[in-house]
Each structure stands twice: as C-alpha cells, then as structure tokens.
A and B are shown apart, each in its own frame.
Chain A
C-alpha cells in the first residue's frame, strides 16, 4: 500500500505492508527511512510506536484538514492521502483570480480599513483583528479591488473564516 503523506507542507511517499505482526515501511522524501515498526494504539489520539527497539509516544488531533502530531522532540502537521487518489490536494494559488483573506486566528474584527470597491496595493492593510489583547493588521495579498467584505466591525470570527476577497 502506497500513501502520499504531507508533513509540514513537504511531500513524502510511504510504502507500508504488514509482515508477521510488524509493519514494514519505507518513507521517501526530504528525510528517507525504511525498516520495521510495531504500531499500537493506546487510547484515542495516543499511539505507541516501536522502531526496532526505539520507543516513541505519538499524540495527535485533527487540526483543520490535517492532523497535528506530537512527539517528544518534534511536532508536525500531517495529511495522508491514498496514492490512487489522483484528485490531489490543490494548493491555493495566490497570483491570479480572486484571493480570499481568511482569519489566521479566532478573534474580533476591530476595524475595516478598506470599503468594497477600493483599489488596494499588495501589502496594504485591509482589516484589524484582535485576539488576546493583541491587534493584527491583515494585509492585502495582491494588488486589486476589494470585491467582497464578509464581516463587519465588532464581529467575532473563527480561525479560517473568510473575511475579505481581493480581485
């Protein structure tokens, strides 16, 4: 079984098959490795992995579309896709067409800095969002026209929520 794995945005190919109670794996990518592993689930979101005799505890939880994965000395965002799934995951293209500005964190919209129809430069401030007593001015990803504003001042927004479209 071959799987396409993305770790912190870098692509790996994992080939894995069960063999006599162990999982034989081969991971190809920026850091390649191969061997036999014993994989056991301890409880919801908690795994024990033995690579040879090396013991690892792995904790994970969904984070958006990915899995947030914790180990004692490394933490990653991982997504797993079946190799036969040719639809792939489309990276957001920033250059052409309308670009959606999304909230980076949950917070409150403090101020809108541009009205609908305003012509803006790349890097121009569009909206101020506040969380935990810190204000964040979000800037236009490209030159264009503010074609849509989905929020109003004072509104509470969730992480990833679309705020403004620049076309």
Chain B
C-alpha cells in the first residue's frame, strides 16, 4: 500500500479523499492555489503545497506543477478527485511516466471514453443501446426525411460542432422538418462556424440514471447499481438518489442497465471506479450517453446503500489489490438521497453567491452525512465551482429518507452567502417528487410553479424579535436621530442580562 498520496483537487472532494487516507493510515498531501491558502482541505491534510495563482489554468489544471509537487513531497500516487485533471488522459499518462500512480483507470480507457462519438461507437459494438440517430451529418432534406422516419418522430436536430442548445430543434412530425433543418443549420453556422447537423430520437421527459462500476486490474468488474440524477439545473445535478424510484417500480431494470454498463466498461478493460450515464424514458427504455472515468460527485448515495467505501477501493485497486467483492454479494439496503448545497440563489436564476460565510451549522444525527469543504469565517472564492457541501441521508425506505432529509435541511444553517438550501424544503414537499415522477426538466418546471407552502408566522415573529434585539445592540447599523434609540438600547440591555 502507498505511504503517501497527493490529492490534486480542492473543496469537499479533497476533504473526502484526505479523510479516507487518514483512515487507511496513509499520509496526505494537499495542493492549493493562492485563493485557497485558508481552505479546509489545506488544514486537514498532513502536508500542503502551494501550486500557483488562483486561476485553475495556472494551478489545479497544471499537470507539471502537480507532478512536481508529488515529486517534492515524495507522494507515490495522485488522487485527482473529479473535475480539473481527473479525466485528462495526458495527465494520467504523465503521472505514469513520472513513476507516480494515477488513482483512476488506465490513460487509454480515459482517452477512449473521452470522446462522445468514440464512446458511442464502443457502446454500439458492445451491444449496448444508444439513442437512435444518424452517426454523421445529414446532407440534404431527402436524407433527413428518410432517417427521421426510420428513427421515428419526434426527433431532435443537433449541431455536430456544438452544444448548449445552439442549433437544436425539436421536430414533432415531417411537416416541420424542412423549416427546422434550415433554422438549425443557420443557427449552428452562426454559433460554431459549421452548419453540419445530425438527427437523434427525442426522448421525452427523460430520466438521467447512471450506473456505478468498480473493476480491478485483473479483469474483475462489478456494478454497484444505479443513481437517479434527474433533478438538475443548467444540466448540472442538484439532487441524486439510490435506488431510483423507477427501479423501485421495476426492480429488473437495475440489472438490465447494470449489465449494459458492464459490457461497455469491459470493452475498454476498465479498472477502478467509473460511472456510465444513461437516458431512460418513461417506459424504462434506456440509452447509453457517456462514461465518466472518475469518482462521481454523488458517490455517497451508492456508499450508503451498498456499504462500500468507493474511495478506499479506488486507492486499493490503484495499489494493485484485487477486488474481493463479487457481484452476487452486492446488496442494496434502504434508500439514500443527496443534496448538493451550492452557493447560489435559486430565486435569482441560480446566480452564484460567493463571499464570506458568517455562520455555518451542519445537521447531524441518525443517518445524516455531510461532505463539506467550508467553515464559518471562510470566504468562498469567486474562482471555482459553487459547490459548498453535499448533504446525504439514509433511511429504510424512500419515504423515510425524504422525511429525514427535510429534518436535516431544517438543521442546516448558512449565513453570509445565499445557498440553495431553502429550495430543498420545497422540492421534498412536492407531491411530484414524493411520488417519484422525475425527469430532467423537473426543476425548471418546478421553479415556474407558484409557491404553495404558506410561511410559518411563528418563525417570522421569532426572526423579527431576534433581529430587534440584535439591532438594539448594534445601533450603528440602523438609521437613527440623536438619542432616539435610548428605549430600544435599554430594552436590548435588559434582555441580554437574562
């Protein structure tokens, strides 16, 4: 086993990995940019090395500086976390060249799965379902018409060169096809400099369901079930759970998608932890989307229901150990849900809200886990991702897990910056969420609904009284004419001596 590991990341995931290293008796080395000197991961690690200025391109994304830090500290392996260099095949390769173990799959597998089109071809060859569509750009209307009727309406026109919804058109039937092609092509031309478009079957109200796989270097490969990640904003996940409510309704689905995922992972001889993402329609038909060749943000929900420590296994596998878990031994017990606590304002278009954290109180108690990277008094930097912490819970059933999550959210207090915590109160009270009718546009539609939850007048009164008392103690904070706040201050003093 390694004696020392460098964690090439920041925030909550760096803290998560450092915690695991400590449990395993392995020394931990944190790296930090100039903006992160006071960050929690730096405080928690055994050693910490500065790797450059705040912009990630000059620090967390610099292979040279990170490998140099590993050399200097004598770390034998690097855990990349997620994001930053975690899916960079060149970095994984450079680690190997420098004699440092990259804790993740072989660089070749990262490279193969790094391109969406290449991954799609691998999946097709492995006999896994993909969203039906044209493999290459369509030349003219006749070809589009032929393809679209083969695939079946509704279809989606997409720009070959781009993403982000540009050059994308939904086509309900053939009469709309020609005009939509013209629009999509000219929009794509303007946005990406190429008017090439292709056709894909439109999956209506899809769910995002992914499969966790774990493999070693000796060909052992298992899946650890699914995670439902349909609650998203701006194509980023906000709430994840295991089991998926769809799997609770159709238990056979877990193994069906799991086996498809294993076929794809086997095709690239995948070793270490990885995740295969699928779109699933409302009937349970599933289609491979892409593979994330790293640890996933939402891995705690899988850890809750399987009892398996994914980070520990990542490290053991990278150290050359054999996977001693067998597929038939994997059990999924109860239900787990995770909320991503972001520094952002849901009432204002999910706008980021960096800044100083004035107060920070985490929930605890039975079945509650917080993977955090922040503390009271710390200033959330403007340079990085707005994820502050992940709150996850486990309970015997999905309904009990929802109740527990609502309890945990009510204990969670962050002051000084705006977070999305209050949004969770409302989502977990929503009948659509409770009944498990999820799809990727759920949150967008939810935000457009009028509020139904009435405010608690008691909370308002309590808040006003506390603010009045606090205000009386800080008279400079309020506008006053000379001598006007004598009464108020006197009241504030009286209440204080209690």
A: residues with CB less than 8 A from B are 1, 3, 5, 7, 12, 14, 16, 18, 21, 23, 25, 27, 31, 33, 35, 37, 39-41, 45-47, 49, 51, 54, 56, 58-63, 65, 67-76, 78-82, 84-89, 104-108, 131-134, 136, 156, 159
Q: Is the CB of A82 within 8 A of B498?
A: no
Assuming A39-B495, A59-B359, is B479 touching A89 (CB within 8 A)?
Answer: yes
Instruction: Give the number of residues in B that approach A within 8 Å (Cβ atoms).
Output: 56
| Nearest-Cβ distance from residue B236 to partner chain A, whole angstroms | 11
| Nearest-Cβ distance from residue A160 to partner chain B, whole angstroms | 11
Q: Is the CB of B462 within 8 A of A71?
A: yes
Assuming A5-B464, A58-B466, A105-B352, is B495 touching A85 (CB within 8 A)?
Answer: no
The chain A residue with its CB closest to the CB of B457 is: A31
Most A-side CB within 10 Å, residue of B361, B425, B465, B469: B465
Whole-angstrom CA separation of A27 from B361 in the bound complex = 29
Whole-angstrom CA separation of A161 from B494 in the bound complex = 38
Q: Is the CB of A71 within 8 A of B463?
A: yes
| Nearest-Cβ distance from residue A151 to partner chain B, whole angstroms | 15
Whole-angstrom CA separation of A76 from B460 in the bound complex = 8
Whole-angstrom CA separation of A1 from B494 in the bound complex = 14
**Which residue of B351, B411, B478 contacts A105 across the interface (Cβ within 8 Å)?**
B351
Q: Is the CB of A45 within 8 A of B463?
A: no
Q: Is the CB of B384 within 8 A of A85?
A: no
The chain B residue with its CB closest to the CB of A82 is: B484
**Which residue of A1, A67, A73 contacts B488 across the interface (Cβ within 8 Å)?**
A1
| Nearest-Cβ distance from residue A164 to partner chain B, whole angstroms | 19
**Is residue B413 contacting chain A, with contact meaning CB distance below 8 A?**
yes
**Is residue B461 contacting chain A, with contact meaning CB distance below 8 A?**
yes
The chain B residue with its CB closest to the CB of A1 is: B487
Q: Is the CB of A56 within 8 A of B462?
A: yes
Q: Is the CB of B488 within 8 A of A54?
A: no
Mask, B340-373, CB within 8 Å of A = 1, is 0001100010011111001101000000000000
Can you name 22 A-B residue pairings with CB atoms under 8 Å?
A7-B463, A33-B461, A35-B461, A46-B359, A47-B469, A58-B465, A58-B467, A61-B416, A63-B416, A65-B477, A67-B471, A70-B413, A71-B456, A71-B462, A72-B411, A85-B479, A85-B481, A105-B382, A106-B355, A131-B354, A133-B384, A134-B351
Which chain A positions have C-beta within 8 A of B204? none
Mask, B478-495, CB within 8 Å of A = 1, is 111100110110010011
Q: Is the CB of B455 within 8 A of A31?
A: yes
Assuming A14-B464, A59-B361, A85-B480, is B455 touching A106 (CB within 8 A)?
Answer: no
Assuming A61-B358, A70-B415, A82-B480, is B465 touching A49 (CB within 8 A)?
Answer: yes
Q: Is the CB of A51 within 8 A of B382?
A: no
Which chain B positions have C-beta within 8 A of A68? 358, 415-416
Assuming A31-B455, A62-B477, A84-B484, is B385 touching A1 (CB within 8 A)?
Answer: no
Assuming A3-B488, A82-B480, A132-B386, is B466 touching A47 (CB within 8 A)?
Answer: yes
Assuming A31-B460, A73-B459, is B352 touching A16 (CB within 8 A)?
Answer: no
**Which residue of A41, A70, A74, A79 contacts B469 across the interface (Cβ within 8 Å)?**
A41
Which chain A positions have C-beta within 8 A of B460? 7, 27, 31, 33, 74, 76
Most B-side CB within 10 Å, residue of A69, A76, A104: A69
Which chain A positions have C-beta within 8 A of B474? 62
Q: Is the CB of A132 within 8 A of B464?
A: no
**Which residue of B352, B416, B457, B498 contacts A132 across the interface (Cβ within 8 Å)?**
B352
**Is residue B71 contacting chain A, with contact meaning CB distance below 8 A?**
no
| Nearest-Cβ distance from residue B494 to partner chain A, whole angstroms | 6
